[in-house]
Structure 1
Amino acid sequence: MQRYFVEKEQVEANKVRILGEDARHISRVMRGRPGDKIIVCDGADLVVLAELETVEQSEVIADIIEEIAEKSEARFRVSIAQSLPKGDKLETVIQKCTEIGAHEFIPFLSERTVVQYDAKKEEKRLQRWSKIAKEAAEQSHRSRIPNVSQPLTYKQLLKRFGDYDLILFCYEKENGLQLRDAVRPFAQSHTEAGANILLIIGPEGGFSEREALEAEAAGAAITGLGKRILRAETAGMTALSCILYESGEMGGNQ
């Protein structure tokens, strides 16, 4: 069943208003008719089954039939800090990691970031990244859309470490600590939902030794992702899957 995200103010009493591109999608692409049913989420806690009442290209009104109790969100809130990769690789990271279960995306600039940062262009890219996250959340039946933040500098990222319960810095020169070794004891000691994890992934050229030392000094666990070197756009997906497995999301140890 098709799923749509709306703002909280679009849900009033027993009705929901769907506007903009989503209204056009229902009316023109899905050819929705009164009586058709859809699932609507407010991006927070509300998920409802709704029946279309009126369908227009600019606005769709639907009657709320019932609330749906969903458990599609991951037990741990994993934020992926990804050093800006070349081309459209970040779009792939956002799409696939949203499907897997990421809570948030934090693009940042590191020493070996190749792309030239342009604030004016990045505003348009941020809008596109947010749209990709929304569409991936709808496709994968998420209850929430992962936030995509404005790109940060590396120093700004370090200052945010205090917001997280566990920080994982993926580095090919780790000193014997693999991701599983850091996540497994954390998952076993944090049995309740809601812990915040920051997963930090480098650019195509990897992190410098200085960056790794600064991250470790700020409280990050320096971890590896196995014997092979992964591409920048592959590392986040792999690490996120490992974290969710160890937390019991995919039949792991919990």
Structure 2
Amino acid sequence: MSLGQELAPHLPFLRRYARALTGSQQHGDAYVRAALEAIVAAPQDFPRDVDARLGLYRVFERIWASTNDNDERADMPEGDREGIARARLARITPMSRQALLLTAMEGFTTEDTAYLIDTTPEEVGTLVADALAEIERQTHADVLIIEDEPIIAMDLETIVRDLGHDVTGVAVTRDEAVAQARAQRPGLVLADIQLADDSSGIDAVKDILAEFSVPVIFITAFPERLLTGERPEPTFLITKPFQRATVKAAIAQALFFDSATVPA
């Protein structure tokens, strides 16, 4: 099997991580392309002493670490999102965010995470603890849940409330979601892809975003379909079945990049 064939199954999930880390599909996918370009340019430098997924993320982390303390690449347009990110980076270090996302969202062990970010397992534990402490201090938001499966909706509602956020409502169809968003503007949306009556969470979110800006986390059992890098796709994505820690990390990261949550 060629190296390209080994890496292909892992690319969607690297895109998920990169988008969550940068708060942008455009920027995250650009970092993934840069990592792939580095592998193509010097395949002999690809880490072959570890499995393909770990090696791929290792190359990505080297690219990320080389970009001026995590400022965006020079060829990426600057905007408010980057200013927001820098403001929050003053309180939670990029390394802490990486450690949390790698363990909670990507499922790497403490040892593998230490390898990826060039530190020790003990330091990874400290970094994750620092990130979780910052989450506890994070500005709370009003959250709209768009989910038609009652058990999953209740689980999400519990997680959201345990994090200190308020739930504005639970919608099970596209029309309900739009109506609830209009009635009480949320600060964050958690949206399933497939809803009751065969409506789409993606369409519901498009309708909501047409009226006002709000960070969105999509929830799907088929993440690969929304992580192709070939069209406009979600920045934040949770895979079903999800872990509590994954939802917690995704919510924290989405709010991290949202201007509405930056304290005055």
Bigger radius of gyration, 1 or 2?
A: 1
More helix by share: 2
- Asked whether the two chains share a fold, i.e. TM above 0.5, the reply is no
More strand by share: 1
TM-score, length basis structure 2: 0.29
